[in-house]
Amino acid sequence: MEKAGKPMILAAPANFDSNEWFIIGAVVVVLTISWLLPRRWLPVQTIFLVLFNLYLGKVGDYLLAIPPVDLYDANDTEKYEIFDFVLYVAAYPPVVYIMLNFYDKWRLKGARRVLYICFFALLTMGLEWLAHLAGVFTYRGWHIGYSFFVYCVVYTLNVFVFHWVRRTIIREKGNIDSQW
């Protein structure tokens, strides 16, 4: 990750090795699953959620992965690489899309909603651990256990934003199922 204030230029990977192959594989899997899921929302909802998660990923990394905190690096160097960009754009948002798609389908409430968020946080934490083993993440002061709480916050925020966007569209357009 580039230091604050410097221009973000996409650098080539220092080595094309296991971390790049892992990212390519993960992107293919999550995009395929996302593509196969039924379209449950208006395109504006999906676009908003994708942009929100792009923003959330960048803010999270700015808070945790650059000095003065600097708890981890992604990929081969501290520079912003092409595969860092691929992670932000093609891996993170589809995972949230998958999570919200099933959340919406099952219309979870109460304890089931909390358990689902915890389940997905554990699942994502497991995927992060595999990414760490493949060299995607290098931890310096970060512990994989912290990720569970971060993912719980991220998924909870996404559920709130999902409902907020839905209510806003219903109010403005009146063309979405208003059971929420």
Supply the pTM of this predicted model: 0.89
CB of 18 closer than 8 Å to CB of 83: no
Nearest C-alpha neighbor of 45 from the set 104, 90, 86: 104
Cα gap 4→146, rounded to integer Å: 24
- Residue 77 is predicted with a pLDDT of 79
pLDDT digits (tens, 9 = 90+) for 109-121: 999 999 999 999 9
Question: How buried is residue 32: exposed, middle or buried, by Cβ count under 10 Å (0-12/13-18/19+)?
Answer: exposed
